[in-house]
Amino acid sequence: MLTHKSRVDGQDVEIHVVQTEDDLDMFSEFIASNINQLAVDSETTGLDIYSSRFKIRLVQFGNATEAWVVPVQLGGAFEDIVIWALLTVKNLVLQNAAYDLQVFDQTLGVKMEELWPKVRDTKILAHLIDPRPIKDGGVGHSLVDLTRAYVDAEIADDVKGLMKKLAHDAGCTVSVIWKKVALDNQDYTLYAGMDVILTSRLLRKLKPLVPADSQHLVGFEHEVAAVCSYMSRTGFLLDVTYSEKLSQKLKLQESRNSEIASNFGCDSVNSPAEIFKVLKDYKIPIPNQTPTGKPKIDDDLLGELAGQGNEFAKAVVEAKKAGKWRKTWVDRFIKTADKQSKCHASINPLAARTARMSITGIPAQTLPANDATIRNCFLAEPGHVIVSVDYQAQELRILAHLSGDRNMIRAFKDGEDLHLITARAAFGDYVQKEDPERQIGKVVNFARVYGGGAAVVSKQAGIDLVAAKTVVDGFDKAFPQVKEYSDALQKEGSSKGYITTPSGRRLPVDPTRAYAALNYIVQSTARDVTARALLRLHKAGITPYMRLPIHDEILLSVPTEKAPGAALKVAKIMTEHMGKVVVEAEGKVGGQSWGSLYNKEVEN
């Protein structure tokens, strides 16, 4: 047995590395004497849990002063004792539990359902204390960031940098070293064992820092994380044949349009310098500049020129679009699909400052709106169809509830058109539903939810600043209590440095951006509405049919004959009553492909 001795925050710590089966007796004694609570972590070959090449290498258990590292990749007794330990320890502490629990589920057969009820995730606690990433003034949420902020900055920089050192010495990237490093490499085992010591210490540091108003969210967020991890495990069926054809089609589109651009003198459509040279040669004006005073070549400019019929700009736009869609999405889907042709999205239920969820792997939240092309890559199970259930005007309904605005509440209760109300308040009662002014009213309504003023409306609606100010004033006239509520939130955020949502979540507010407080609280409350719906759906036994949570929408794969009834049932479960406002959900039944829910047809 190898033992590393080190110090953390001025205290001696030991990391024991199991090397032979003879060492397992002492490991089991350690588990038995710490049976009430231990931190646990895993080291693997990478992040692709559902790949056939994925392997678990080490599993570590530890408390604040002692850790044990077990080479579970050796199998046999090493694997058996780790499974026993996972099931025996009464409380487990993890950093980013969803990842490791999926690892244990897939590689050791220890189901997440058995472990989630006894887990405490330090990443969840850290987000409840301060949800901001480092770039926004927070301390971050990775183990390294949290260790640096709360435990021992020197350890964070030295020990947690060991894998970078190993990768450098081996002449490879960090993403590769996880597969190559020897199981008994001393830097590797020191790094691994330190993880659980630091996680154990983090729990002690973070627990008392969770605001009193947020304490009840600890259990809630763990339940939400569990349901999201179950959806990740289920995966989403990939139409491999369609995806491969689409990849080839996009490759051809990229090649053809790149050739057109090349004929104009642009050899790389991704080079702003080459694009600028062509525009300059053809005497096409570039109206905007970068902060450094250089001509600004961006997607907005190219899109505008393409819309005006400029053949060069159109070729650049189409080539870049085809390249992005193929490389970023379609080819990645094909590469990451498992043996059952399923892609497994990584769902982060606590991503943004507001706790809004994010999805990677299947980037459902960033796919082109109202376009079926990419979504057609994914299918319901055989004999199933896709069902989408989403909230109707979720954020505006929540705004009505939070602000208590009588006009907005009445409008929703009576089924009135909120966008028409805003338009008429700005332009006059003559405005009808089919008039373009209604669309401007819609822009304003959502801009106000997001904290935007006349400048934002001007850009999004394509109207001058004076007209935009008129419509914004019309919104404030139609819904006066919204402005009062926003002003009060700005005042609270500026004085305290944060606001607190109805669920008790504390949201930091930057003094220079206090106007964003309204958006923060509406977006965060909307996220909590969706999260509560996920838990109700899970309790109702619907989780096996759920595929993705997409902001205000839940996507499901449902047996064809049960789809209409299921859509109604899920919508009923998701609908939430908030005071005088009903946040309604509505179901839509599609065909076998996800893209079938969208109007645009896709060429095969």
Within this chain, do residues 351 and 444 fall inside the same structural domain, yes or no?
A: no
C-alpha distances in angstroms, 138 versus 210, 505, 509?
15, 16, 11
Helix, strand or coil for residue 230?
helix
- The pLDDT value given to residue 599: 59
232 in any annotated domain:
no
Q: Are 358 and 526 in contact (CB under 8 A)?
A: no
- The pLDDT value given to residue 294: 83
CATH of residue 284: 1.20.1060.10
CATH of residue 537: 3.30.70.370
Consecutive H or E run containing 511: none
Concatenate the DSSP letters of all residues of 26-48 into one string.
Answer: HHHHHHHHTTT-EEEEEEES-S-
86 in any annotated domain:
yes
Count, residues in the chain = 604
pLDDT digits (tens, 9 = 90+) for 404-423: 999 999 999 999 988 899 88
pLDDT digits (tens, 9 = 90+) for 432-441: 988 888 888 8
246 in any annotated domain:
yes
Within this chain, do residues 63 and 194 fall inside the same structural domain, yes or no?
A: yes
Give the mean model confidence (pLDDT) for residues 519-533: 97
pLDDT digits (tens, 9 = 90+) for 90-126: 999 999 999 999 999 999 999 999 999 999 999 999 9
Average pLDDT, the chain: 94
222 in any annotated domain:
no
78 in any annotated domain:
yes
CATH of residue 500: 1.10.150.20
Within this chain, do residues 552 and 540 fall inside the same structural domain, yes or no?
A: yes
Q: In which domain, by residue range, is 352 found? A: 343-394+524-597
Of 26-35, 211-220, 356-365, least confident by mean pLDDT is 356-365
Within this chain, do residues 424 and 569 fall inside the same structural domain, yes or no?
A: no
Is the pTM here over 0.85, yes or no? yes
Taking only Cα atoms into account, the Rg of the chain, rounded to an integer number of angstroms, comes to 27
CA 83 from chain center: how many Å?
30
How many whole angstroms separate alpha carbon 219 and alpha carbon 443?
A: 38
Give me the helix-helix angle, 480-496 and 406-413, nearest 10°: 120
Whether the pLDDT of residue 604 is over 50: the answer is no
Within this chain, do residues 206 and 247 fall inside the same structural domain, yes or no?
A: no
Of 312-321, 337-346, 428-437, least confident by mean pLDDT is 428-437
Give which of 35, 92, 95, 34 is closest to 65, Cα–Cα.
34
- The pLDDT value given to residue 287: 87
Give which of 529, 596, 583, 598 is closest to 557, Cα–Cα.
596
Q: How confident is the model at residue 197 (pLDDT cuts 50, 70, 90)?
A: very high
Structure tokens at 40: 């646990």
125 in any annotated domain:
yes
| Number of domains forming the structure of the chain | 4
Structure tokens at 542: 């619907």
153 in any annotated domain:
yes
Q: Are 573 and 541 in contact (CB under 8 A)?
A: no
Within this chain, do residues 199 and 283 fall inside the same structural domain, yes or no?
A: no
Within this chain, do residues 242 and 311 fall inside the same structural domain, yes or no?
A: yes
Within this chain, do residues 480 and 577 fall inside the same structural domain, yes or no?
A: no
Within this chain, do residues 531 and 562 fall inside the same structural domain, yes or no?
A: yes
Q: Are 494 and 121 in contact (CB under 8 A)?
A: no
- The pLDDT value given to residue 425: 87
Structure tokens at 470: 């008129």
Give the mean model confidence (pLDDT) for residues 382-397: 96
pLDDT digits (tens, 9 = 90+) for 263-299: 999 999 999 999 999 999 998 988 888 888 888 899 9
Give the mean model confidence (pLDDT) for residues 338-365: 95
Within this chain, do residues 502 and 568 fall inside the same structural domain, yes or no?
A: no
Concatenate the DSSP letters of all residues of 236-250 into one string.
Answer: EEE-HHHHHHHHHHH
pLDDT digits (tens, 9 = 90+) for 476-515: 888 999 999 999 999 999 999 999 999 999 999 998 899 9
Q: Are 345 and 361 in contact (CB under 8 A)?
A: yes
Q: Which of 273, 307, 341 is the last residue of a domain?
A: 341
Within this chain, do residues 74 and 193 fall inside the same structural domain, yes or no?
A: yes
- The pLDDT value given to residue 271: 93
Within this chain, do residues 336 and 364 fall inside the same structural domain, yes or no?
A: no
Give the mean model confidence (pLDDT) for residues 133-154: 95
216 in any annotated domain:
no
Q: Which of 522, 552, 576 is the last residue of a domain?
A: 522
Q: Which of 210, 230, 257 is the last residue of a domain?
A: 210
- The pLDDT value given to residue 335: 96
User: What are φ and ψ of residue 60, in 5° steps?
Assistant: -120, 140
